[in-house]
Amino acid sequence: MNALELFRSHRQEVARLWTEAVYSTYPFETTGFLRTQEDPFGNPVAHMTKAAAAAVYDAVAGEDVDMKTVKGALERFVKLRAVQQYLPSQGLGVFYLMKPILRQRLLPLCAAQGELEAYLEAESRLDSLTLLAFDIYVAARETLAESRIKEIRNQHAQLARWAQKLENGPSDPPGSSGTEGR
């Protein structure tokens, strides 16, 4: 059995274990929901995590995958992590959670088959995907920051308009002399 066949035979197991490792980064009260709610609209976090797990694993394994598909799955997953309240290391550190799983499940098998070089290439592909995820994460955080700055500017402009109206005082209705009631 060559390295690609070994990776194919462990695809579901490794993707499932990595998905569980990603879920464990969420607060305890959230993980049960992530594991049990299957509806992609009701539970987009789980849906995007599973899609990313499959795409990342196939790319790491050396499958002939379309990079647009992999990048699309990565973008959805990483953008989700970028808007959540994580430090960058926590948001992207999940990619490094796959290495111990690969080392435990596939490294011994690849070494026994004389496919150690193929295994090391797979780890290199994971590192490359992590760097791609980092680029996506930074771009998403920049977009988020720009959006927040724009929102603050809009709020400031609105407050300035209200302050100017208050400063100028209420305008008298047409036809009134402003001396009525004296």
- The pTM (predicted TM-score) of the whole model is 0.75
Q: How do the domains of the chain map onto residue ranges?
A: 3-167
- Distance, CA of 16 to CA of 7 (rounded, Å): 14
For the chain, the first-to-last Cα distance in angstroms comes to 102
Query: Tens-of-pLDDT digits for all 182 residues of the chain?
Result: 788 899 999 999 999 999 999 988 887 767 767 777 777 767 788 888 899 999 999 999 988 888 898 999 999 999 988 888 788 888 899 999 999 999 999 999 999 999 999 999 999 999 999 999 999 999 998 988 888 888 898 888 888 888 888 888 665 555 555 555 54
Whole-Å CA distances, 159 to 112, 149, 163, 171: 69, 15, 6, 19
